Amino acid sequence: KQEVTQIPAALSVPEGENLVLNCSFTDSAIYNLQWFRQDPGKGLTSLLLIQSSQREQTSGRLNASLDKSSGRSTLYIAASQPGDSATYLCAVTANQAGTALIFGKGTTLSVSS
Amino acid sequence: GAVVSQHPSWVICKSGTSVKIECRSLDFQATTMFWYRQFPKQSLMLMATSNEGSKATYEQGVEKDKFLINHASLTLSTLTVTSAHPEDSSFYICSARPGGLRGSGNTIYFGEGSWLTVV
């Protein structure tokens, strides 16, 4: 059964710092991997989606990498801002049509000004 | 872009009553919808997979008689929490996958979620 682990569980950084969030998954047979942002009490905002054939995706100050063989992904946030404070969730889809996303527990990020 | 709407956004109900949460795909047909539950400071846990016109597939540990899922049309799935108890209080969120060509790439769209509080 696929399991997704995110480290660290929580992270506090001063504004302007670059940071890396880690995600690992036990079954490398994935179709894709997504990073989401969740603000307190809110739904999910999709940040980046990496297909299994891709190595990385970039959007603005965010860069996500995928090493499928080792079961790892990282989300790099450059020049962090207080508005980046949220919980970041990593999720994978199994290599099978119609399957659901399996989520990690998330990393709660706090960026202080 | 695609939009998935959930209703209600929050609901308070008395213990023992039933409450229904709706998940609608507004601009696409969703052959498959997923229901998740999220307890405070926990991750999203998949409850069930709902396919239009057929019975839902429940994850291990999820009571199918308590959490009734109906996917009667290609744009609507409902989750009914029956005989709700305080421990059912949680954040429930649905997601939908478009069918046909739009379903290529395995894109999944999420609703805004529904907060349920059972008192």
Tens-of-pLDDT digits for all 113 residues of chain A?
Answer: 899 999 999 999 999 999 999 999 999 999 899 999 999 888 899 999 999 999 999 999 999 999 999 999 999 999 999 999 999 999 999 866 567 899 999 999 999 99
Q: Give me the residue from B6, B108, B111 closest to A101, CB to CB.
A: B108
Q: Across the interface, do A98 and B97 touch by the CB < 8 Å criterion?
A: yes
**Chain B partners of A105 at a C-beta cutoff of 8 Å?**
42-43
Contacts (Cβ under 8 Å, ≥6 apart) of B71: B33, B50, B51, B52, B53, B54, B56, B77, B78
Q: Is B112 exposed, middle or buried (0-12, 13-18, 19+ CB in 10 A)?
A: middle
Q: Does A55 touch chain B (CB under 8 A)?
A: no
Rg of chain A taking only CA atoms, in angstroms: 13
**Sign (positive or negative) of CA dihedral B10, B11, B15, B18:** negative
- Helices and strands, number each (H, E), in chain A: 0, 11
Which residues, numbered 27 to 66 in chain B, qualify as contacts with chain A under a Cβ-Cβ cut-off of 8 Å? Answer: 32, 34, 36, 42-46, 49, 51
